[in-house]
A = this chain, B = another copy of it.
């Protein structure tokens, strides 16, 4: 018998009526002869409301207690969903993260799953029950309730799919899949049929919100195929899976953008070995995630170092940077929160060297200045002014004809060669 893991996000279970329609969808899957294990997020804005209450109590709530608080949200949604399924005449049982055997480390607020002891889940599935598991939460090796961080329910679903050796892991959400760009910015953006783990990792790391980075990492590490789709329609969504020869060979998958980072410049740094380490080690020690580091060519024995970091870490980073700057004898530090990052991602990029140049052309033609560039083998990212990010996404989407290309790929998924006329213009 096939076993399927389905995950429903907060919007999908936002009120009792939506919970009932999700229950109907789950029962239909079970009636079709599959074993169904469901991972569910907290209803709608529940988590935000709980965070707000905590903020009224304490400006910096104690992490263990905050996790205990937030874990209440999924208890509510999972119990209601289980009741709704039972009401439709199927047996169902809900499990907390702890009861489902989601064992994590002790890092409250962003715990990592270290083991899945799914005995109770397996027994319930084998007894013919539909199993509902609380997403986003687990129990630590110290027996405390932990949460996995924003988007953690996706990780719960993928981890359970791996532990249960599920035939599919369906992530139901309020968008119908992964798009070539954010459809709110590019109305003609089209849904992708499939992307590789590596592409999805780059898209998530570059600001695409459809799946959190960690769930994709987990899926890649355990070879779990994910199907991201809408909980409001029956339409197929986007598959996230291992690259194989039958898969479409699209050069570009999509464009992600991110306005959550700020730019930092350390000016006139003496250009000698070990300086970069002295700048970045204290930030790493404080848990500040630095991205997109660029160092200018040296002139007169001095150089400028540019990088980006999350805006929310800026206040914490500034005193550290001032101290480091004077220690290494730099000329000063400046920060700029009004930037955005635009990233072009595609597995085929590795063998098509002109992609970056075409992207720069598109931005240049639109009069958009590029402040920092950073690349990986399947991604090109540019920092631009925050005010120009929508325009940047649009012109890059146009340049690579992603709307047409994506449609063509869905119609002829195996022959994608020669689709990108735009690339021919690249140097």
From A78-86, A207-215, A354-362, A364-372, give the one contacting chain B: A78-86
Q: Contact: B75 with A62, CB < 8 Å?
A: no
Each complex incorporates copies of this chain amounting to 2
Q: Contact: B69 with A75, CB < 8 Å?
A: yes
Say how far A71's CB is from chain B's closest CB, in angstroms. 7
Q: Contact: B83 with A66, CB < 8 Å?
A: yes
From A53-61, A230-238, A313-321, give the one contacting chain B: A53-61
Indicate whether A64 reaches chain B with its CB closer than 8 angstroms.
yes
Q: Contact: B99 with A83, CB < 8 Å?
A: no
Complex Cα distance, B83 from A92, in Å, reads 35
- Tally of chain A residues near chain B (CB < 8 A): 37
Contact with B along A316-329 (1 / 0, CB 8 A): 00000000000000
Q: Contact: B57 with A16, CB < 8 Å?
A: yes
Indicate whether A94 reaches chain B with its CB closer than 8 angstroms.
yes
Complex Cα distance, B84 from A76, in Å, reads 23
Complex Cα distance, B71 from A71, in Å, reads 11
Complex Cα distance, B20 from A76, in Å, reads 25
Chain A residues 13-72 with CB under 8 Å of chain B are 16, 19-20, 50, 53-54, 56-58, 61-62, 64-66, 68-69, 71-72
Query: A68 touches which one: B53, B61, B75 (CB < 8 A)?
Result: B75
Q: Contact: B71 with A75, CB < 8 Å?
A: yes
By beta carbon, the residue of chain B nearest A84 is: B57
Contact with B along A264-293 (1 / 0, CB 8 A): 000000000000000000000000000000
Complex Cα distance, B93 from A64, in Å, reads 8
Complex Cα distance, B46 from A75, in Å, reads 14
Contact with B along A83-106 (1 / 0, CB 8 A): 110110000111010010000000
Chain A residues 120-159 with CB under 8 Å of chain B are 120, 143, 145
Say how far A66's CB is from chain B's closest CB, in angstroms. 7
Query: A20 touches which one: B57, B62, B66, B145 (CB < 8 A)?
Result: B57
By beta carbon, the residue of chain B nearest A87 is: B58
Complex Cα distance, B420 from A238, in Å, reads 83
Q: Which residues does chain B contribute within 8 Å of A72, judged by CB atoms?
A: 72-73, 75-76, 79
Complex Cα distance, B366 from A419, in Å, reads 97
Complex Cα distance, B83 from A50, in Å, reads 13
Q: Contact: A79 with B68, CB < 8 Å?
A: yes
Query: A62 touches which one: B57, B64, B83 (CB < 8 A)?
Result: B83
Q: Contact: A58 with B78, CB < 8 Å?
A: no
Contact with B along A222-244 (1 / 0, CB 8 A): 00000000000000000000000
Complex Cα distance, B96 from A73, in Å, reads 15
By beta carbon, the residue of chain B nearest A68 is: B79
Say how far A133's CB is from chain B's closest CB, in angstroms. 12
**Chain A residues in the interface with B (C-beta under 8 A):** 16, 19-20, 50, 53-54, 56-58, 61-62, 64-66, 68-69, 71-73, 75-76, 78-80, 82-84, 86-87, 92-94, 96, 99, 120, 143, 145
Q: List 6 A-B contacts (CB under 8 A).
A: A16-B53, A54-B79, A58-B83, A64-B93, A66-B83, A71-B75
